[in-house]
Amino acid sequence: MASSSAVTFDASAPWSLSPEVSLRDEAFGALAYHHGNRRLVFLKSRELVELVRRLGEFESADVAIGAVIAPGEHDRYVEALSLLVTSEILRGR
């Protein structure tokens, strides 16, 4: 198993989907597969999928969440993104 990366998630920094990751849409959201570390991760909502896809367009994860996700859910999505950083699905820009 790949060890958890030491990178921590700072939501005020810019992030994007790793170029090593493929996304496949599914009825529940999407599957994300990291070709390098071979991890398969389940993105369990359409909103999260859209956020992950568009993350790279924004100056920070906070701004991306503000633009894509309904207000009031900010903290939940920060947590979801931070898990995706741990599995290297996302990477800092």
Partner 1 sequence: MGADATLRDRFERGLAAPICLTWELTYACNLACTHCLSSSGRRDPDELTTAEAKSLIDEIAAMQIFYVNIGGGEPMIRRDFFELVEHAVGQKVGVKFSTNGTRIDAAAARRLAGIDYLDIQVSIDGADAATSDRIRGDGSYAQARRAMDNLKAADFGQFKISVVMTRESVEQLDEFEAMAKGYGAELRLTRLRPSGRGVQVWQELRPTAEQNRRLYQWLLGRPNVLTGDSFFHLSALGSPLEGLNLCGAGRVVCLIDPVGDVYACPFVIHEQFRAGNVRDAGFAQVWTNSELLRSLREPGSPGACGACGSYDACRGGCMAAKFFTGLELTDPDPECVFGHGETALAKKAPSSLPTTSPDHSRRIPVSISPR
Question: Which residue ranges make up the site for partner 1 (CB under 8 A)?
Answer: 1, 22, 24-28, 31, 33, 35, 38, 40-42, 44, 83, 87
Per DSSP, the three-state class of 78 is: helix
Report whether 25 contacts 38 (CB < 8 A).
no
Q: How far is CA 59 from CA 6, 30, 31, in A?
A: 22, 24, 25
In the complex with partner 1, which residue's Cβ is closer, 23 or 78? 23
In the complex with partner 1, which residue's Cβ is closer, 44 or 93? 44
Compute the least distance from the CB of residue 48 to partner 1, in Å. Answer: 13
Report whether 55 contacts 17 (CB < 8 A).
yes
Compute the least distance from the CB of residue 20 to partner 1, in Å. Answer: 9
